[in-house]
Structure 1
Amino acid sequence: MEKKEREYNENQVEGRNAVLEVLKSGRDMEKLLVLKGNLEGSIKRIIAMATEKGVVIQEVSRQKLDELSQTKNHQGIIALVSAHEYVEVEDILAVARKKEEEPFILLLDGITDPHNLGAILRTAECAGVHGVIIPKRRSVGLNATVGKTSAGAMEYIPVARVTNIVNTMEKLKKEGLWIACADMKGLDHFDTDMKGPLALVVGSEGEGVSRLVKENCDFTASIPMYGQISSLNASVAAGLLMYEVVRQRKFGKQ
């Protein structure tokens, strides 16, 4: 019984914005749980959309929502959906080809905090990243907390899950991509050319990019530090580097 409950809860999305984006994306939704008596504002809009799509809607108590919630910030609504589908790396490259753009891919080497992954996905979607690649081990997957923190971005940006990051990097190199490693000891990212087809590697919250992955990158890019603290949160660092790529591509390097 315990196992069933755990699997059940893994396939849920929480919070008004995240649930709304799931409905808009067309993803299958099995059931919508809403706080009893709370049928106003954005909840009313969500219920109308869910009803139109034939989704089962169930009014429940706040206690029930609190018990089910993984994020502890459900905002009176939880959607039970089919498991999120990961894509293949080839699918991400196909997105770039379809848009007739040089590939811009994010590789995450060991992000274990779901809030960081959600924030990274949100920024990546806004920055026009074609897809994100995460490892199957030593990494958080696309769970409810990631979906909530991404504010719906998880529904739009392709995410591939691979067994071996280094092997994936080699495949991307054969496709013509350069691999840039986010590293505090690297060249200042303002002086790093990141305009071509690129895969940007961002490491874990504590240890950064692992040694083997770093050794297989083509070059490194660092964020200059002028204060007393020597490192940034992983999602903040990823965001700064992604938008440096945007700046160089859209507005020129200098």
Structure 2
Amino acid sequence: MIIYGKNPVIEALRANKPVEKILVAHDSHPPYQVVKLCKERGIKIQRVPRQRIEELTGTKKNQGILALISPVPFIPYQQLFKMAFEKKGYFLVLDHITDPQNAGNLIRTCEVFGGVGVLMPKDRSFPINQTVVKASSGAVFYLAFSRVPSLKKALEEFKNAGGSVVVVERGGEDIRETNFELPCALVLGSEGEGVSKSVLELADKVLSIPMVGKVNSLNVSSAGAIAMWEVFKKFLTKS
């Protein structure tokens, strides 16, 4: 959802709406209240050409500012962890995955295979927009989402509470042979950079998917689907 104009944007921030980010035209300045509230809430302010603001709002009467509001609310990461412990299940950790199509596919699979939600970093992460909603086939409305400044710190807290951190990355043990300890955080990294070093160092297990083809690589949403199926089989043996 898009709202525009100085006062509507300020009121959305004051009302603690799930604002993804603020776009401000290059030739204008954001109000002091917007800068202050964004700083307090860790919301990014992005400078763009005025034409971009006009394209998104469909009008020239936009005061050079708009807010992108997520269609789903974000919850504290502690609440997401609690849900995983109560269900003895898992949640996804999407480490700097920015592509909305991949994110939507992963979210859809997560919901189908019993995951409780998604943890993601505030920076360099996908927006929950119309593309994600469509790619997920609406699964975004059935999962919990949490954003954190530091995946490392949040996952350290999860481990200290008794959870396990499982990373899907090259060079690990065969995913078919592992025994998942639940609840767990299932970590997937971007296709270009993989899982962050700081998160990789926290891993209780690093798992890899064996491949025999000439291409020898999988799209992150495909790799994630395989990994989530392996975790889901743990639920099947319990039921």
Superposition TM-score, scaled by structure 1 size: 0.65
- In the alignment of these two chains, the number of paired residues is 179
Once the two structures are superposed, residues 94-132 of structure 1 have per-residue CA deviations (whole angstroms, 9 ceiling, x without a partner) of 3345xx421412111110100000011100011111111
How far, CA to CA, are the matches of 2:198 and 2:84 in structure 1? 27
Runs of 4+ in 1 over 2 A off after TM superposition: 2-5, 80-84, 93-97
In the alignment, is the contact (CA less than 8 A) between 2:103 and 2:221 conserved in 1? yes
Task: Give the equivalent residue in structure 1 for 2:75.
Answer: 87
2:229 maps to 1:243: yes
Contact 1:181 1:214 in 2 (8 A): yes
Gaps of 5+ in 1: 9-66, 69-79
Partner of 1:105: 91
2:81/2:158 contact within 8 Å kept: no
SS of match in other structure, 1:132: strand
Q: Which residue is equivalent to 2:107? A: 121
- What CA distance in whole angstroms lies between the structure 1 residues aligned with 2:3 and 2:233? 47
Partner of 1:226: 212
- Asked whether 1:201 is paired with 2:190, we answer no
1:176 corresponds to which letter in structure 2? G
Question: Match of 2:88, SS?
Answer: coil
Give the letter for the 1:89 counterpart: Y
Amino acid at match of 1:88: P
Please state whether the residue corresponding to 1:161 is helix, strand or coil.
Answer: strand
Q: Identify the residue that residue 130 of structure 1 maps to in structure 2.
A: 116
Q: 1:173 aligns with which of 148, 159, 164?
A: 159
Distance 2:3 2:75 in 1: 26
In the alignment, residue 249 of structure 1 is paired with which amino acid?
F
Q: Where do 1:35-74 residues align within 5 Å? A: none
- Report SS of the residue matched to 2:236: helix
CA contact (8 A) 1:195 1:248 kept: no
- Structure-2 separation of matches of 1:199 and 1:81: 27
Distance (whole Å) between structure 2 residues aligned to residue 96 and residue 248 of structure 1: 14
Q: Would the alpha carbon gap of residues 148 and 191 (structure 1) be closer, same or farther in structure 2, given more than 3 Å must change?
A: same
User: Counterpart in 1 of 2:4?
Assistant: 4
Determine the structure 2 residue equivalent to 1:139. Answer: 125
Deviation at 1:195, TM superposition (A): 4.0
* CA–CA separation in structure 2 for the residues paired with 1:115 and 1:109: 15
Alignment check: 8 A CA contact 1:109 1:210 kept: yes
**CA separation of 1:215 and 1:96: change in aligned 2, threshold 3 A:** closer
Identity %: 39
Does the aligned pair in 2 maintain the 1:93–1:130 contact within 8 Å? no
Q: Which runs of 5+ in 2 are unaligned?
A: 9-54, 57-67
Q: Distance in 2 between matches of 1:158 and 1:219?
A: 24
TM-score between both structures, scaled by the size of structure 2: 0.68
1:164-205 deviation line (CA, Å, top 9, x unaligned)? 011011011012111111111100001111142211110002
Change in CA separation of 1:106 and 1:170 when aligned onto 2, cut-off 3 Å: same
